[in-house]
Structure formats: structure tokens, C-alpha cells
Amino acid sequence: MELHNKVALVTGAGSGIGQTVATILAREGARVGLADVNIKGIQETLSAIEEDGGKAFELPGDVSIKNNVREMVHRLVNRFGPVDILVNNAGIEGSASLVHEIEEEIWDRVMSVNLKASFLMCQAVIPSMMERRYGKIVNVASLAARRISYLGGSDYTASKYGLLGFSMHLAYELARYNINVNVLCPGATLTKMTESKLTKEKEEEIVRQIPLGRWCSPMDQAEAVLFLVSERAAMITGMVMDVNGGNLLGFGDYPENMARREERSARKR
């Protein structure tokens, strides 16, 4: 087991990517704090982990509020010990509106959950990581931070670029304490966040833009996180891991583009 004796904290652990990340880390021996506002969700995650023989602990609450974050970390440290691994995954979609129509309250909320919460979590766990000269942090941004959001608005895009910038700076500052900070940028991944917005047609339209020909699963994302927090990635810091089936490689409809390329090539034969 790669994470034997490690303590992990995963935010947004009650659903989708965070739920799978928490389960995989626990399967590898980590004792995992499950932070989420979705109490039913973290109960489900806890049951799945315990049925699997793993150890986890519920941390209900909103991770964008400083006192909650302090309290969560305090409770986890008392229960399992200091945090070795932090996965800042909790996120919300934002407005999906055009920029001139985004309400200020929504903009602020998206920044709080998608950006400030990671800052608060990092502030709460880093001092002990620095003391122990050990730590692995993965911040979950998005494909939106590599181009722009496909389904969401500029509030979501801006929050994820912010998280990327914060992570790079953090990686630089913390390297001398042997703390690795990396970013996961998931592409289209089937979870509650995306399913709520999808029609069958939209789902298929998105698949056509993915060279590897399918949506990502939460497990695809969790495998990447596991790698980044393991000793196999000991010399990787300040890196962005894109898990998107090649979505950034080309333009538009992949089957159509490839058919055109094949046709062009055939004409030259």
C-alpha cells in the first residue's frame, strides 16, 4: 500500500471526483478526512471506505469559511494525526452567464469556493507540513484553466486560472520544505456537476471533441491524484496534470477532422 500511515484531507469528498479520490487514497492505506457541505454524500463515502476495510472521518462544513476550515483540520489532526496529503477538490460551477450578466454575489461565491477555500485549507495545514518537512498538495483546477470553460462562465474560468497561479506560487515557496504542490486539470468528467447540465446530444457533441473518444470517469482523475501524492512523483512539483483524453490537442470535431486529414493524405498517394 503506497500511502500506509499517511493522513489525507480531501475536500468535496461527498460526490464525483472527490468521492473517488478519497476512496482510492483510503484503499492505498491513507486515513482520510472527508470534507464537504453534502453530509449525505460524505456518509456514503465513509461507508464505502469502511466496507473496503479503510479508515475515514467525516468533516461536514463549508470549506470557504475560515473558522470551519480551522475546525475541520483540528478535528482531523486529533483523530488521525497531522495532515500529510491535501486534495483541494471542492468546487462549484458558477453562473454559466455571459460576463455582463453575472451577478456580483455569484462571482464572489465562485471565487470563495473555487479559489479562497484552497488558500484557507493550505494555510491551515502547511505549518505542520513545513515543520515535518513533508507534504503533498493537489489542487483541482480544470480544463477551463488551460483555455476557457466550455459549459460555464467567466467566473468559473477566472477562479480556476486563479487556483493555477496560486498553486505555482505555492510550489515555489514550499519546495524548500519538501512539499510538493501540483494541479490536476480534469477535462469533461461525468459527475453530478456535469450530468445536471447534459442532454444526450450535448454529451455526444463533447465526446466528438475528445481524441480518446469518451468522457473521463472520476476514476481517471483519481488515478492521477494518487500518482501525484505518491513517492513516485517525489520530484514533480509545480506541474499541471491534464486528464482530458487529448481534448487540448486539436480543434473541434475529432472524427470529422481526422476524416478530412485521411482524405487529404489519400489524395497525395
Ligand X SMILES: NC(=O)c1ccc[n+]([C@@H]2O[C@H](COP(=O)([O-])OP(=O)(O)OC[C@H]3O[C@@H](n4cnc5c(N)ncnc54)[C@H](O)[C@@H]3O)[C@@H](O)[C@H]2O)c1
Tell the smallest beta-carbon distance from residue 203 to ligand X (Å): 11
DSSP labels for 231-243?
GGGTT--S-EEEE
Among the listed residues 150, 156, 161, 177, the single catalytic one is: 156
Tell the smallest beta-carbon distance from residue 236 to ligand X (Å): 20
* Catalytic (active site) residue 156: yes
Tell the smallest beta-carbon distance from residue 23 to ligand X (Å): 13
Name the CA radius of gyration of the chain, rounded: 19
80-96 burial, b at 16+ Cβ within 10 Å, e below that, comes to bebbbbbbbbbbbbbbe
Tell the smallest beta-carbon distance from residue 157 to ligand X (Å): 11
Could you say which DSSP state residue 181 is in? E
Nearer to ligand X, 35 or 241 (CB): 35
Nearer to ligand X, 178 or 217 (CB): 217
Q: Per DSSP, what are the bridge partners of residue 181?
A: 137
Nearer to ligand X, 23 or 142 (CB): 142
> Residue 58 half-sphere exposure, CB side, CA atoms within 13 Å?
16
Q: What percentage of the chain's residues is helix, strand, coil (to nearest 5)?
A: 50, 15, 30
Instruction: List residues binding ligand X (CB under 6 A).
Output: 11-12, 14-18, 35-38, 41, 62-64, 89-92, 113, 140, 142-143, 186, 188-189, 191-194
Nearer to ligand X, 18 or 153 (CB): 18
Positions marked active-site: 156
